Amino acid sequence: MVEASDEATREHSHVQRVVYFLSAMRHYASDLRHRGYTVDYAELGTVSSLEAGIEHALAHLLPDELHATEAGDYRCEQMLEACASRAGIPLTWHANRLVLCSRGEFADHARGRKTLRMEYFYREMRKKHGVLMDGGKPVGGSWNYDSDNRSSFPKSGPPEPIPRPEHRSDRITSEVTKAVAEHLPDLPGRIDRFIWPVTPEEAQSDLNEFIEKRLPVFGRYQDAIWQNEQLLYHSRISPALNTGLLDPREVIAAAETAFREEKAPIASVEGFIRQILGWREYIRGIYWYSMPDYLEMNELGATEPLPGFFWTGDTEMNCVSDVVAGLNEYAYEHHIQRLMVTGLYAMLLGVAPRAIHAWYMAMFVDSVEWVTLPNVIGMSQYADGGIMASKPYAATGKYIQRMSNYCASCRFDPAKATGEDACPFTTLYWDFLDRHQEKLRTNMRMALQVKNLDRKSAIEINAIREAATIHRNKGNAS
């Protein structure tokens, strides 16, 4: 096992992301040793990269063959293949037990299809794994309760108390935090609110707490946002799932049991299971089906640099400022904050897909390329031209106003596209439609939005273009 510093410095990494991975690794190594295994472990500061660590091990241990679990990332797979080839030994890949759909199964699903939509894949997975099924039919008579998953909070805010996560720092995590401060000073983000589970037992305890206290309300408010509330009723299990501290099968079974025992409604349980059995598996399928080309996709020809306030939160846009402040505190945003605040703003502004992808990789405790890349390049930026999403997730500030309480205390007005108090999201939305109208006109699902653009006069369009240019120049200067 190698604590490779270049994994944290290739792109700037949030300090919690680094501490999380290294602490989970050290706990795992300690557990293996207790179980009688010999672990060859390189601590931070001794080896610069995973490749160097493997080369070193190959040179010293002189194995006859190399065995590996299917790599998460394309880069890692290529690197291991190259190491084995240089050493002149065979490399055997083993199935990854942390996913339910193998690469081959996804390729079978994709073969012959014109489009790859998550919904059809998800239904196949439900049937294949017998999840939320009554005989051959979906439980409750419907495959999908998405329309019950979109409520915003009442004016008074989240209706049920949100249990506060505990700060976690045992001896190993404290040692890792010190080592990171010594070897990798100046990483972005705060470390004083470290809440992430670093052992399977801690992850299981968090899952139990979610199923009991938050799952019943999760579904209804899955898309809602609230100022100063980064975590809400979300499960926060993505880091544990991505590092293997939790098995997705057990998570799905725990949620289904809560439904069967009438402890959580179908809309919550189906909504939650859809994220894991549907979205997560589908995203992994898309990644391996489309790499390495996916990394370079830029359908909308976006070239803007990432504004500096994505790191600091120093912007007058209340929504972006609050989301980035929460991100610095927890290395986490929930899905709609990622998709409809930071992701939406970057797409409307026209940030280069590689630049916004690098930011998502850096700042999130759960980032690993196979899951971050399709979510960023495909779902949030539409840079894959519709492989994943049937249309760009483009919206004005009014979407954020509907789903949150941000706009009430913002100096901008989400209804306005021009003028001193115009909301930058709204300005950039119309500018986005205007800039890409030729392409968007060919997409039936964008017809209504483009039609609304056609209703604007030439004077209005010119004013929007001017406002967008002024905003773009200001944003890039900060």
- Contacts with ligand SF4, residue ranges (CB under 6 A): 317-319, 397, 400-401, 406-407, 410, 412, 414, 423-425
- Should residue 379 be labelled a site residue for ligand FAD when binding is judged by CB under 6 A? yes
Backbone angles phi, psi at 270, to 5 degrees: -65, -45
- Whether residue 292 is preceded by a cis peptide bond, meaning omega within 30 degrees of 0, is yes
- Should residue 472 be labelled a site residue for ligand FAD when binding is judged by CB under 6 A? no
271 binds, among ligand SF4, ligand FAD, none (CB under 5 to 8 A by kind): none
Nearest Cα residue to 476 out of 349, 299, 343:
349
86: amino acid identity, one letter:
R
| The one among 268, 380, 405, 426 contacting ligand FAD by CB under 6 A | 380
Check residue 102 and report its DSSP letter: -
Touching ligand FAD, residues 207-246 (CB under 6 A): 234-238, 241-242
Instruction: Encode burial over 249-259: b for 16+ CB neighbours within 10 A, e otherwise.
Output: bebbebbbebb
Alpha carbons 425 and 391: distance in angstroms, whole number: 18
- DSSP code per residue over 402-460: HH-STGGGSSSBTT-SSSTTB-HHHHHHHHHHHHTHHHHTT-GGGHHHHHHHHTS-HHH
412 binds, among ligand FAD, ligand SF4, none (CB under 5 to 8 A by kind): ligand SF4
Touching ligand FAD, residues 81-100 (CB under 6 A): none
* Min separation Cβ 341 and ligand SF4, Å: 8
* Min separation Cβ 472 and ligand SF4, Å: 15
| The one among 200, 285, 326, 343 contacting ligand FAD by CB under 6 A | 343
Touching ligand FAD, residues 266-325 (CB under 6 A): 272, 275-276, 279-280, 283
Q: Is 258:269 a contact under the CB 8 Å cutoff?
A: yes
The residue among 143 and 425 lying less far from ligand SF4, judged by its C-beta, is: 425
Cα 193 versus chain centre, distance: 20
Strands 66-69 and 133-134: unpaired
* Min separation Cβ 328 and ligand FAD, Å: 16
- Should residue 204 be labelled a site residue for ligand FAD when binding is judged by CB under 6 A? no
The residue among 335 and 456 lying less far from ligand FAD, judged by its C-beta, is: 335
Backbone angles phi, psi at 419, to 5 degrees: 105, 170
24 binds, among ligand SF4, ligand FAD, none (CB under 5 to 8 A by kind): none
The residue among 198 and 319 lying less far from ligand SF4, judged by its C-beta, is: 319
Nearest Cα residue to 217 out of 233, 229, 203:
233
198 binds, among ligand FAD, ligand SF4, none (CB under 5 to 8 A by kind): none
Alpha carbons 358 and 363: distance in angstroms, whole number: 9
375 binds, among ligand FAD, ligand SF4, none (CB under 5 to 8 A by kind): ligand FAD
Task: HSE, CB side, 13 Å, CA atoms: give it for residue 234.
Answer: 21
The residue among 252 and 319 lying less far from ligand SF4, judged by its C-beta, is: 319
Q: Which residues bind ligand FAD (CB under 6 A)?
A: 234-238, 241-242, 272, 275-276, 279-280, 283, 334-335, 338-339, 343, 360, 364, 366-367, 371-372, 375-376, 379-380
